[in-house]
Structure 1
Amino acid sequence: MIKLIAIDMDGTLLNEHHLVTDKVKKAIKEASNAGIKIVLCTGRPVHAVYDYFEELDLPKDEEDYVISLNGTVVQKTTNWEIVYSHQLDHSQLKKAEQLIEPFEMNFTYFDEKAYYYTGKKTEMLQFDADLLGMDAVHLPLEELPEELTIFKAMYVAEETELDHLAASMPAFISENFYPIRSLSYVLELLPQGANKGEALTGLATKLGFSMDEVMAIGDGENDLDMMKVAGTSVAMGNAVDSIKLTAKYVSKSNQEDGVAHAIYEWA
């Protein structure tokens, strides 16, 4: 029996217009009313989740949570208190930023609320900020306050530029971060040990659920870790091949209410 459903947002919960369809809302509401916990599990910072959370009218009880920033942060939905997190070291951020010098790209990073970037703003950075509905704040790393907690960093650039960076990535990155290509124009740097699968496993344990009672629905490379740990893993019809090969089931696409199909078919 499924007791918890972890749902990715972009490319999964949201259609190509970044909307939640009525059919998906209805399915999620019915699952919630049936006692299944719905956990949004996203690469977005929680600030870019608020409106969708309210739209879905999900519970805000003491044991309801959101997993954000690709598993680096888990927050209560009652007051958005952080109950679990991984953090990045400021000195490592500065070393990672140096890699962008030969390229036209931005180095970006997040606390739980803001989207910061260094260098000159590119069109791709503006596109990404608009997608999240957030203002990109210019904050060079030499001006980064010591007390500011950073949970995730990203390289943001046109796909070809990012391909070149990925091909020349030094060992320092994999030794100090968990790198993941979450989108064609985004290469993320997470803290070592942080990912959606690790966060989902910890949350399920906290709630007293076995992983056999957990369903995970996703579409991108950053969903791979939660596909591997969930007892019922569902790839969207529009998912990348690695997700489809790993998942137990393949649903319809995000243009065909794939989340609703997954809930009714397997939960």
Structure 2
Amino acid sequence: MEHKIKMIGLDLDGTLLTDKKELTARTKAVISRTLSQGIVVLVATGRPWMGIPEELRNFPGMRYALTSNGARVIDTQENRVIEEHLLSPRLALKVLETCGKYDTLQEVYFDGQGYAPADKMASVERYHRNPSMCEYMRNTRIPVDNIAELVKEENRGLDKVQALFADMGERTQAWTELREVGGLELVGSLKYNIEINAAGVNKGTGLVNLGKMLRIKRGEIMAFGDGDNDIVMLKEVGIGVAMANAEAKVKEAADYITMSNEEDGVAEAIEKMVLRV
């Protein structure tokens, strides 16, 4: 089947990046070749802007970035936010209060920057299972004494709240409570987290809206993902590609399943379906 793809959205963790949070030489080469053909390539991630690896933030030809699950879409060339859907401080405080009843490491994102409690960051290994994710957190979050107080002081919309749980039973309880709050979008790209955005915010809507701005049709968009926060995106676009390491429900939402993130699955699918290598 022929597909004329004009835009490709790439999830990061478990998709574009290896388990060590690295971008392989092959994948970089394929992205560069794709961009050289006039195809828009962008990251579509739950991470805040400052949590995206520097080599991707400065990747030649990669102009756009969809961050915080679609809460903030950025034009890096013009250094401006072209779309944002923020969580109110009132709801953010309710989320922090709810998750704060449990053993969690909570963080908030303002203007593309993540903030986390200094005391919980000191024991980040309790909440993140992957050593590479622990290192990522240490390198990209600004430690503060109290994130609830930060939200009160800022008193403005924020990109996202995330809670990492030490106990999965507590995660289930917190999820149930948060669903009753209203006005929230809940996903869990990791088996031990809850990501909280304003209602209606997701990668799929963000990617399709960017396509409209660029006069790219839904059917001309391809997207890659592996986690819960990628499901809507894979369903919304013309070709949704799940990684071999993706959760079963993500694979069910996809049109195509490629190799794993440890096997250059993104590069493999782009070469086969877009570049025709």
TM-score calculated relative to the size of structure 2: 0.87
- In the alignment, what sits opposite 1:85? 84
Q: Deviations for 1:68-90, whole angstroms, at most 9, x for unmatched residues?
A: 01111000111431111011111
- In the alignment, what sits opposite 1:192? 199
- In the alignment, what sits opposite 2:180? 172
Selected match of 1:131 from 131, 136, 140: 136
The Cα shift of 1:10 comes to 0.7
Tell me the amino acid that sits aligned with residue 82 of structure 1.
V
Aligned residues: 262
Is residue 32 from structure 1 mapped to residue 31 from structure 2 by the alignment? Answer: no
- In the alignment, what sits opposite 2:149? 142
Deviates more, 1:156-165 or 1:95-104: 156-165
Q: Deviations for 1:27-73, whole angstroms, at most 9, x for unmatched residues?
A: 11111111111011111111122513156x3316xxx3110011110
Q: Which structure carries more helix by proportion?
A: 2
| Cα distance in 2 between the residues matched to 1:83 and 1:252 | 33
| Cα distance in 1 between the residues matched to 2:94 and 2:23 | 39
The Cα shift of 1:205 comes to 0.4
Selected match of 1:163 from 171, 175, 197: 171
Tell me the amino acid that sits aligned with residue 9 of structure 1.
L
Tell me the amino acid that sits aligned with residue 80 of structure 2.
E
- In the alignment, what sits opposite 2:18? 15
| Cα distance in 2 between the residues matched to 1:14 and 1:164 | 28
- In the alignment, what sits opposite 1:151? 159
Question: Is the Cα–Cα contact under 8 Å of residues 14 and 20 in structure 1 kept in the other structure?
Answer: yes
Question: Is the Cα–Cα contact under 8 Å of residues 162 and 186 in structure 1 kept in the other structure?
Answer: no
The Cα shift of 1:170 comes to 4.8
- In the alignment, what sits opposite 2:61? 59
The Cα shift of 1:118 comes to 4.9
Selected match of 2:229 from 217, 222, 227: 222
- CA separation of 1:167 and 1:9: change in aligned 2, threshold 3 A: closer
State the identity as a percent.
Answer: 27
Selected match of 1:202 from 203, 206, 209: 209
Q: Gapped runs of 5+ residues in structure 1?
A: none
Q: Deviations for 1:125-147, whole angstroms, at most 9, x for unmatched residues?
A: 57656324313422332343235
| Cα distance in 2 between the residues matched to 1:110 and 1:196 | 16
Q: Gapped runs of 5+ residues in structure 2?
A: none
| Cα distance in 1 between the residues matched to 2:33 and 2:91 | 45
| Cα distance in 2 between the residues matched to 1:2 and 1:237 | 22
What do you get for the CA RMSD once the two structures are aligned? 2.1
